[in-house]
Amino acid sequence: MKAVLYVSHGSRVEKTRKEAISFIHSVQKNIDVPLCGYCFLELATPTVDEAVTHLVEKGATEIAVVPMLLLGAGHYYEDIPDELEEVKKKHPYIHFQYGEPIGVQDRITEILHQRVKEIVDGKSENINVLLVGRGSRHPTTQKAIKNIGEALELRLCGPVVDVCFLAACAPTFEEGLQLSDQRDSEATIVVPYLWFTGILFQSMKKKVNLLKNDREIYLTEYLGHHPAIIRALTDRVQEALQKFELHSPEKTGIHP
């Protein structure tokens, strides 16, 4: 029996966990698979091991593991695969397929465009934009955020889009804010490239609120439950499930 396991990052903030679970339910409505589960890499339960064990007890024999990650970085390339290797030792007869992160997509950049327009509507068009990524030591993550920033700048047709990061790489969020303040514009729009709320978003909100006394600065909403990202994750789930067909004995000619 096929199953889908959604692997989310995890957070100490209960609202973050609830948002992730609610999002999973929205996606699973589009997936024709009898079993699904969710787990968190850290700071919340169930763990990967607990979620896989639960699915196996329910009768799962093939599990599509879908990372709820915007971009590929340490969690995608190292942490989740390491967890799966340990799980496979406990369940050697279960077949796993590992899905892809959301990645750089035009439809996700369009969400950011909409978020900026929600703030700008009725205000001056003389703005600059600061796109804020989570950050990672993995070089592909930094490149991806810069590419997204360039694509967003093209969509906005005028405002400059600077890029910064919340951790692990430069420029930092504070450095990004300083650069934005030096721009010849009337307002700064800060755009978090984050899926859900959490400690990082809350800290950004606090910082922006403090700066509002001295300058025109606004923080957009995170990506959240936008229909475009629901479709994006739905596609990733379906792609992972299709791998079972591509790697089946009938397709490959390999038989047990």
One domain, residues 162 and 208: yes
One domain, residues 144 and 196: yes
Q: What is the pTM of this model?
A: 0.91
One domain, residues 121 and 212: yes
Rounded CA-CA distance 246/248 in Å is: 6
- CA dist list (Å): 147 to 86, 131, 140: 35, 11, 10
One domain, residues 94 and 45: yes
One domain, residues 95 and 112: no
Rounded CA-CA distance 4/238 in Å is: 10
One domain, residues 125 and 71: no
125-184 pLDDT, tens digit each: 789 999 999 988 888 889 999 999 999 999 998 899 999 999 888 999 999 999 999 998
One domain, residues 38 and 90: yes
One domain, residues 178 and 199: yes
CATH code, domain carrying 148: 3.40.50.1400
Q: Residue 97: what are its φ and ψ, rounded to 5°? A: -130, 135
For residue 254, pLDDT over 60 is answered with no
Average pLDDT over residues 230-245: 95
Q: In sequence order, which residues have a C-beta less than 8 Å from that of residue 17 and are 6 or more positions away?
A: 8, 10, 11, 40, 44
Q: According to the model, what pLDDT value does residue 250 have?
A: 44
One domain, residues 213 and 248: no
When computed from its CA atoms, the radius of gyration of the chain, rounded to whole angstroms, is: 20
Q: Which residue, among 81, 120, 105, 124, has the nearest Cα to 193 in the 3D structure?
A: 105
User: Which of the residue ranges 88-97, 104-113, 115-124, 195-204 would you say has the lowest mean pLDDT?
Assistant: 115-124
One domain, residues 159 and 60: no
Rounded CA-CA distance 38/24 in Å is: 8
Q: Which residue, among 213, 170, 206, has the nearest Cα to 190 in the 3D structure?
A: 206
Question: Percent helix, strand, coil in the chain (nearest 5)?
Answer: 50, 20, 35
One domain, residues 148 and 210: yes
Q: Count structural domains, the chain.
A: 2
One domain, residues 19 and 94: yes
Q: According to the model, what pLDDT value does residue 125 have?
A: 72
Average pLDDT over residues 201-221: 93
Q: State which residues form the domain around 198.
A: 106-219
End-to-end CA separation in angstroms for the chain: 18
Rounded CA-CA distance 101/202 in Å is: 24
